[in-house]
Amino acid sequence: MGKVVVFNSISLDGYFTDANNDMSFAHRGEGDPEWNGFVSGNARGGGKLLFGRITYELMAGFWPTPMAAEQMPEVAQQMNKLPKVVFSRSLDKATWNNTKLVKGDLIEEVRRMKKESSEDMVILGSGSIVSQLSEHELIDEYQLVIIPIALGKGRTMFEGIRERLPLKLTASKSFSNGNVVLSYER
């Protein structure tokens, strides 16, 4: 059975987007070779990428571009190559390479995907999907990159959850750029 893993950057005060839905704060510290190596290595992990519409449109607007290939060639290559699923009721088609559009029930589709697949599935961004899947205990691991910045306002990945979500720390790693990666399981 495949695992569902969340990989998201958040601010010190817990936001994955700022008040304007901007996530550019997460790209702070990219000049750190150790951090860049971690990001490139993580991208080689394989599996399937899961997105909500907003994150999908952001990613599809960047990773297939020459700028992405120039700035982060290894990551761009993997992002374009990996299979992707976008969950959206409003999107008419998904044009990014290797992308499947799912308009049906998110919870049932992810349950089915977990049962039928041996490969891991990774959610990037997509806060509304994270909160919905968290409520139904369908996320197996949360990998959170803490970015050393306070935003004051924004959105959390857990907006709308109705019950506490107890997690256990399974790994941590800090980088010289100030970023800290924390891994949690249910």
| Per-residue pLDDT at 66 exceeds 90 | yes
| Mean pLDDT to the nearest integer, 152-157 | 94
For residues 69-78, give the mean pLDDT: 89
- Please report the domains of the chain, with CATH numbers, ordered by start residue: 4-185 (3.40.430.10)
Query: Helical H runs in the chain?
Result: 33-43, 53-60, 66-71, 73-81, 106-116, 127-135
In this prediction the pTM is 0.90
User: What would the two tokens of residue 136 be?
Assistant: 């139904």
Asked if 154 contacts 15 with a C-beta cutoff of 8 angstroms, the reply is yes
134 pLDDT band (50/70/90 cuts)? very high
The confidence score (pLDDT) of residue 37 equals 77
Choice between 26 and 115, residue whose per-residue pLDDT is larger = 115
From residue 67, give the alpha-carbon distance in Å to each of 13, 50, 72, 137. 31, 23, 8, 37
CB neighbour list of residue 46: distance below 8 Å, 6 or more residues apart: 82, 119, 120
Please give the pLDDT value at position 130.
95
More confident residue, 18 or 44: 18
The predicted pLDDT at position 29 comes to 60
Q: Which tops the pLDDT comparison, 125 or 101?
A: 101
Confidence of residue 45 (pLDDT cuts 50, 70, 90): low
Contacts of 84 (CB under 8 A, 6+ apart): 48, 49, 50, 51, 56, 94, 96, 98, 99, 100
| Cβ neighbours around 108 below 10 Å, total | 10
At residue 34, does pLDDT exceed 80?
yes
Centre a 10 Å sphere on the Cβ of residue 128 and count the other Cβ atoms it contains: 18
The two tokens of residue 83 are: 């299979």
